[in-house]
Amino acid sequence: MSWRRLLDWVRPYNHKDSEAPRQRGVLFLRAVVLAVAVLFFICGYAWAKKTVVLVVDGEEATVQAFSATVGGVLEKQGISLQEKDEVTPAPETPLRDGMIINVSHAVNLSISVDGSEFAARTREATVKDVLAEYQISLGEEDVVAPELETPVAPDMKICVDRIRTATEVCEVPIDYETRKKYTVNLPQGSTRVAQEGRTGTERQTWQVVYKNDKEVNRQLVYQEVVAEPVERVIMVGSGMVVSRGGEEIRYSEVREMVASAYTHTGYNTASGVYPHYGVVAVDTSNIPMGTRMYVEGYGYATARDRGSAIKGNRIDLFFETRSEALSWGVRRVKVYFFD
pLDDT at residue 10 greater than cutoff 60: no
Same domain, 177 and 254: no
Q: Is residue 214 part of a domain?
A: yes
Tens of pLDDT, residues 63-82: 998 888 999 999 999 898 89
Final residue of a structural domain among 233, 261, 293: 233
What is the rounded distance in angstroms from the CA atom of residue 85 to the CA atom of residue 103? 7
CB 337 within 8 A of CB 302: no
Q: Contact, 176 vs 231, CB < 8 A?
A: yes
Rounded distance, CA 82 to CA 62, Å? 23
Task: Count other Cβ atoms within 10 Å, centred on residue 211.
Answer: 15
Residues 13 and 68 in one domain: no
CA distance 251 to 262: 26
Span 87-105, pLDDT tens digits: 999 999 999 999 999 999 9
Q: Does 186 fall in a domain?
A: no
Classify 267 as helix, strand or coil. coil
Q: How far apart are CA 303 and CA 308, in angstroms?
A: 15
In a domain, 271, yes or no: yes
pLDDT score recorded for residue 180: 83
280 and 249 both lie in a single domain: yes
Q: Are residues 209 and 229 in the same domain?
A: yes
Domain count, the chain: 5
Asked whether residue 203 is domain-assigned, the answer is yes
Whether 320 is covered by a domain: the verdict is yes
CA end-to-end distance (rounded Å), the chain: 151
Parent domain of 93: 50-104
Q: Are residues 169 and 153 in the same domain?
A: no
CATH number at residue 80: 3.10.20
* Distances from the Cα of 182 to the Cα of 133, 186, 190, 211, angstroms: 79, 9, 10, 55
Clarify whether residues 198 and 229 are in a common domain. Answer: yes
Residue 188 lies in a domain: no
280 within 8 A of 295, measured Cβ to Cβ: yes
Q: Does residue 245 sit in the same domain as residue 331?
A: yes
Residue 149 lies in a domain: yes
Please check the confidence at residue 3 and state whether its pLDDT lies above 60: no
Please check whether residues 244 and 323 belong to one and the same domain: yes
Chain segment 107-121, per-residue pLDDT in tens: 999 999 998 999 999
pLDDT at 45: 44
> In CATH, what number is assigned to the domain containing residue 275?
2.40.40.10
Q: Are residues 60 and 95 in the same domain?
A: yes
Looking at every residue in the chain, the average pLDDT score rounds to 86
What's the DSSP call for residue 152?
P
Q: How far apart are CA 189 and CA 211, in angstroms?
A: 59
Judge contact between 172 and 223, C-beta under 8 A: no
61 & 146 share domain: no
Residues 245 and 288 in one domain: yes
22-27: long-range contacts, CB 8 A cutoff, minimum separation 24: none
Residues 260, 319, single domain; the answer is yes
Residue 118's CATH number: 3.10.20.90
Q: How far apart, in whole angstroms, are the C-alpha atoms of residue 335 and residue 295?
A: 5
The pLDDT score that the predictor gives to residue 213 is 92
What's the whole-model pTM score? 0.51
Contacts of 219 (CB under 8 A, 6+ apart): 206, 207, 208
Tell me the mean pLDDT in the region 25-39: 56
Examine residue 202 and state whether it is found in any structural domain, yes or no: yes
pLDDT digits (tens, 9 = 90+) for 173-186: 999 999 887 776 77
Determine the longest span between alpha carbons in the chain, in angstroms. 181
